[in-house]
Amino acid sequence: MSAASEPLSTQNIGEALRQTAPLLPRLILAGLLLVVAPEWPLDTASGYLVQAGMPVWLSGIANVLAKGGLQGLYVGVVAILLAPRLGLVAAVKPVDRHAGWIGWIAVVLVAGVLKTLIISMGLILLVIPGVIANCMLFIVLPVAALERRDPGEAITRSRELTRDYRFGIFGVLLVLGIAVTVFGFAGMVGFGGMSGFQEARLQPGYSYGYEPLINLVYATLLAVLQTSFYVRRALRTSAGAQSVAAVFD
């Protein structure tokens, strides 16, 4: 298999990052609205729910799922903007299958919530099932956003397109996770000294600057990788090309 045909090759990842550069102003705006801005309101709402009598674990689950849905929507926005630049010209606008933009938003949100729920349940079950689920569902959101599939169909499609590539996906996610952890730890030490995370969070520069920036960069890189992988797989398999073409005919 040539480097050009390997979805996770450095050549294809590099091309995806190059094509992302002109989109950065719009992606930053979308990320601020969907990834950064909701953090404080959702965390505050979670605290209010606990004070109102909701169990902490249930409030925590609701918080995670809400963030998962919004971050899923961000991946959908990245996919809509980036896919045409990677060759999937048909993905310029949503179709009427889900009643236009409102339906599209609802479908991608639900897909994000379902993906987060499945992965979270897997992580609770001794971690490994969650890691496997994360690799299998790597492109659920681009599929839902670009092929306009219902969440259940998107899950099945992601399983099909990631088959034989899951070890590579795991490697990419591991490297990205390690990088985020290192930068996060460096920020905690820089802002909070050796006192750690709690001290760092008391510093406005960390809570309102460094931490949101790390979260936004991570979310954007992950969305770009997911979209790039999906486009390469869809355009290089006859079934994928027919599926995409059928949706946009």
5 in a structural domain: no
Alpha-carbon distance of 55 to 70, in angstroms, equals 23
Closest Cα to residue 140, out of 170, 165, 107, 171? 107
- 156 in a structural domain: yes
Residue 138 has pLDDT above 50, yes or no: yes
Percent of the chain with pLDDT over 70: 84
Total domains in the fold of the chain: 1
What percent of the chain clears pLDDT 90, i.e. is strictly above it? 48
Task: Tell me the average pLDDT across 94-114.
Answer: 78
235 part of a folded domain? yes
CB 206 within 8 A of CB 187: yes
Is 1 within a domain? no
Q: Is residue 7 part of a domain?
A: no
Q: Degrees (nearest 5) of the Cα angle 65, 144, 8?
A: 95
Q: Is 134 within 8 Å of 172 (Cβ atoms)?
A: no
Could you tell me the pTM of the whole model? 0.85
- Domain containing 82 equals 12-248
Least confident of 45-59, 139-153, 200-214: 200-214
Tokens of 126: 């001794």
Least confident among 98-107, 172-181, 212-221: 98-107
Residue 202 is predicted with a pLDDT of 64
On the question of pLDDT at 151 being above 70, the answer is yes
Report if residue 66 sits inside a domain. Answer: yes
What is the average per-residue pLDDT within 55-80? Answer: 92
3-state SS, residue 141:
helix
CA 248/CA 96 separation, integer angstroms:
10
- Quick one: average pLDDT of 153-158? 94
Q: Mean pLDDT over residues 172-200, rounded?
A: 78
**pLDDT number for residue 211:** 82
- pLDDT confidence band for 240 (50 / 70 / 90): very low
